[in-house]
Structure 1
Amino acid sequence: MASRSASLKELGDIRIDDVLSFIDRGIEKMPSYMDLYRRWESQQWSVGDIDFSLDRQDWLEASDLDRKATLWSHRLFFNGEERVTATLAPFVWAAPTPEIEVFLSTQMVDEARHTVFFERWWREVCGTDARDMTQLLKEIRPEANEGYNTLFYDRLPATAQRLASNPKDFDAFVEGVTLYHIVIEATIALTGQRFELESMREQGLTERGFYQGFTAVARDESRRVSFGIKVLQEAVREDAARYAPLIQKTLVECLPLITGTLDPPDPRYITEYGHTESEIVQFAFDSLNKKLRAIGINLAA
């Protein structure tokens, strides 16, 4: 597949649905952890190679609504990338095998790169006077959103702290992978990426630096979603009575947080671009259920 090793420029020719199909193919024939690591090696990209000049021109000509909708989405992603970067190390410490440890180490690199990608976009496209990333993140922190705040400022740090306190707590590891890889990445992030990238494609904006970079981000996410499915699938196969209820409980608790995160402060941020809130939420939960079938469970607790 071209998406396996495509350059940033070539990613402008790739649809997000082609990237997502990698996960579906993996469900049919699950890659090993080292397969996923090797795919990471072959899919390297550099934030410094992205040209945001067309994006800047678009920004200067954009309507007020376009700017507000873009900032809403990008705030969620930029802040989210930094939050997961800050909380991932304990997952590496808690990895139950060397192969899992190796793959999770690649994820730390990915999350840091994604954070830098959004920082560059912010500075070069919409502009900011923030002197450093700390100040910029404070400036762009998403407006009050209970679902988002609970996920990224409560549940994820609490799970990471449990793992840091006891890296051998495999129950906490399973809960953390459910939260991180299935709820945040597979259900929320890839849904947002799918609709934003498709909207850009429909508008003929695939030559923009953001489209190319965000497609690379989504490709990175697809590897990690496959990883999360594999970890949980193996846990359920090893001891379904123990781990299936734990995964289900985590998911059920997160359902309102998913819908809350995907709910924009102004419905026009979605409807003006040819979609509806219900369509996006439906896509998210259809995607979630597909992953759960691969793991070997359903949402019924």
Structure 2
Amino acid sequence: MRDKIQSVSKSRLNTELFPYKLYVKAKKFGIWNPEDIDFSQDRLDWETLTEAEKKNILIQIAQFAGGEEAVTIDLLPLVMMIAKEGRLEEEMYLTTFLFEEAKHLEFFTRFLEEVVGSKEDLSRYHNEAYKKIFYEELPAAMERLAHDQSPEAQAIASTTYNMVVEGVLAETGYHAFYSGVGKLGKLPGLLEGISLLKMDESRHISYGTYLLQRLIKEHGDHIYNVITNRINELMPLCIGSITNGKNPDEHIQSGVKTFGVDNNDMLEFAKKQMNVRLDILKRARENNLEEVLNIEEEPVLQ
């Protein structure tokens, strides 16, 4: 039973709140259709790739598509929790968030079906560190919100989803993909879709840093410690996923590259991604609540 209808009450919608601004941006920039992307040249290009190039791309697509499916499934408990708390502006944005994750999954599915054409089981490219994050840690953190809406549970869920999965793993993967595949001068449809996808992800990550800042301001430095502890738990798994489970130093010294991108560069990019967002969260400990709730969108590193 609800006690009021916010949109017609004296408070109305708070159109100055950051999540509402993200909602407006999502309507403007997020309405792209995976079915509109032309894969005709990609099909031709695919036949010109070496077997090694095809395998490298399939490894990345297996991780991208698997990640997009996971985050599509796992987001719903957060949406329901925010709705239960009566945060209407945040819920409005999260409806676009979930829609976009589903589109990302559709995009990679189209590429596999219409360009690759093979029905092989690509989950064999999910290494143990990847599985630990996407098969265990992410769903567990998000599903916990169904029965535990504590600030600590919210912080762990958002840190896992927004800071680590999206902010580190996905962004690092797209960085490597662009740096490597972009140099081939091929697969224009795939690159176009990933460019659009990255714009969506920048809003997702921005919402996550907003949510974590809000939790820090509402519940104190204890939440900041929860966030950093969770990051410390997951970062070794991130490194294992990026380096395919090998010791980073050995992996780098062996000269192994992904699409011609040195894994040392990938690890440095991942660390930079995390440090940028930790700096944002540190500011939440210094700013007042109003500044946090109306914070401007943070750019995602390219």
Fold shared by both chains (TM-score > 0.5): yes
Structure 1: 5+ residue runs without aligned partners?
1-29, 130-135
Q: Which residue of 1 is the match for residue 95 of structure 2?
A: 105
Q: Which residue of 2 is the match for residue 120 of structure 1?
A: 110
Q: Which residue of 2 is the match for residue 148 of structure 1?
A: 130
- Alignment deviations for residues 257-285 of structure 1 (CA, whole Å, 9 cap, x no partner): 11011124897996264321111011111
Q: Which residue of 2 is the match for residue 133 of structure 1?
A: none
Select which of 43, 60, 75 maps to 1:88: 75
Letter in 1 for 2:153: A
Matched, 1:165 2:172: no
**Partner SS state of residue 128, structure 1:** coil
User: C-alpha distance in 2, partners of 1:297/1:86?
Assistant: 32
Greater shift, 227-236 or 216-225, is seen at 227-236
Q: Which residue of 1 is the match for residue 195 of structure 2?
A: 215
The Cα shift of 1:196 comes to: 0.8
User: C-alpha distance in 2, partners of 1:169/1:239?
Assistant: 10
Letter in 1 for 2:263: E
User: C-alpha distance in 1, partners of 2:37/2:134?
Assistant: 28
User: C-alpha distance in 1, partners of 2:261/2:147?
Assistant: 44
Whether contact under 8 Å (1:88, 1:108) holds in the other structure is yes
The Cα shift of 1:90 comes to: 0.3
Matched, 1:226 2:206: yes
Q: Which residue of 1 is the match for residue 44 of structure 2?
A: 57
User: C-alpha distance in 2, partners of 1:265/1:249?
Assistant: 22
Q: Return the index of the structure with the highest Cα Rg.
A: 2
Structure 2: 5+ residue runs without aligned partners?
1-15, 285-302
The Cα shift of 1:140 comes to: 2.1
**Partner SS state of residue 252, structure 1:** helix
Select which of 70, 73, 79 maps to 2:60: 73
Q: Provide closer, same or farther for how the CA distance between residues 239 and 209 of structure 1 changes in structure 2, counting only shifts above 3 A.
A: same
Count of residue pairs the alignment pairs up? 259
Whether contact under 8 Å (1:179, 1:250) holds in the other structure is yes
**Partner SS state of residue 245, structure 1:** helix
- Alignment deviations for residues 214-236 of structure 1 (CA, whole Å, 9 cap, x no partner): 11111110011111111112222
The Cα shift of 1:174 comes to: 1.4
Matched, 1:235 2:215: yes
Letter in 2 for 1:288: M
User: C-alpha distance in 2, partners of 1:272/1:145?
Assistant: 15
- Alignment deviations for residues 166-206 of structure 1 (CA, whole Å, 9 cap, x no partner): 3x33321111111100000011101111221232333334x
Select which of 226, 241, 251 maps to 1:246: 226
Letter in 2 for 1:164: A
User: C-alpha distance in 2, partners of 1:209/1:265?
Assistant: 31
Select which of 253, 275, 282 maps to 1:289: 275
**Partner SS state of residue 125, structure 2:** coil
Letter in 1 for 2:44: Q
State the TM-score, normalizing by the size of structure 1.
0.80
User: C-alpha distance in 2, partners of 1:122/1:276?
Assistant: 26
The Cα shift of 1:297 comes to: 7.5
Greater shift, 244-253 or 255-264, is seen at 255-264
Q: CA RMSD in A?
A: 2.3
